[in-house]
Amino acid sequence: MRDADALENNPEITRSALEAIHGQVFGWALSRCNYDRAAAEDLMQQAYVELLSGNALFRKKSTLKTFVFSVVQNLARSRYRRLATRLRLVREHATSTDDSFLPTEPDRNSEVWLAVKLLPHRQRDVIELVFCRELTIEEAASVMGVTTGTGRAHYDRAKKALRKTLKSLADDTK
C-alpha cells in the first residue's frame, strides 16, 4: 500500500523522511557551493525538483541520506560548475563594499577547519562526509562516486595529513 506522505513520482521517499535530513542536505549543498548560501539554496531546491519529478528515482539501494547527498553532488558537479565560476567572477570584479557576495564559510578561526581546508578536495569531502555528516566510509565513497577502496585511501591519507597539520599548528601556538 502506498504511503500518503510519499512523493508522487518517487514512492520510496516520504516527505517526513526528507524533512528529517533537510538540514544535513543543506549543509552538504553549502559545502558543494563553496559556502555560498544563495547558490546552496538553489542547488538544494533543484535536488528536490529531481526527487519530485522522479528523474532521480530512489530504489532503496542505499540509505535515503546517501542517495540525496549523491543527487546534490551530481548536480553540483554538472549544473553548478558554471554558476560557481560566474559567482567567483562576480566576487572578483565586485567594486562595492557589499559583502553579500562573500561566502559565509564555517568558523574561520577554527584550527580544525583551517587544516581541513588545506586538504585536497577529495580528502576534504570524505572527511566532511564521515565526520560532519555521519556517513560511513562506504556511503561517503558512494556519494563521491568512487570505489570504497579509493574512499578508504582518501580517508586514511586525509586523517594522516590532518594529524600532521594540527600538530604543527599546535606547536606554532606554543
Partner 1 sequence: MNNEDGNTGNWEKQLGASLKRSLESQDDAPPFDEVIAAAERRHGDSKRPYAGIAGAAVVAAVVAAVAVAVMLMIEARAPTPDSMPKMLQVAELMDSTNWSAPSDVLLPTHEFDIYQELPVLLESTKPAEGALL
The binding site for partner 1 (CB under 8 A) comprises: 15, 18-19, 22-27, 30, 35, 41, 44-46, 48-49, 51-53, 104-107, 110-113, 116, 127-128, 131-132, 159, 162-163
Q: For partner 1, which is the closer residue by CB, 28 or 142? A: 28
CA dist 38 and 56 (Å) reads 23
Minimum gap (Å) between residue 90 Cβ and partner 1: 21
Which residues is 14 bridged to in the sheet? 6
CA dist 57 and 154 (Å) reads 29
Taking the CA atoms of residue 33, residue 36, residue 39 and residue 41 in that order, the dihedral angle to the nearest 10 degrees is 100
Q: For partner 1, which is the closer residue by CB, 63 or 103? A: 103
Entry field: residues in the chain:
174
Half-sphere exposure in the Cβ direction for 131 (13 Å, CA): 14
Taking the CA atoms of residue 64, residue 66, residue 71 and residue 72 in that order, the dihedral angle to the nearest 10 degrees is 110
Q: For partner 1, which is the closer residue by CB, 84 or 166? A: 166
Q: For partner 1, which is the closer residue by CB, 89 or 113? A: 113
Q: For partner 1, which is the closer residue by CB, 46 or 63? A: 46
Strands 10-14 and 6-7: antiparallel
Minimum gap (Å) between residue 15 Cβ and partner 1: 7
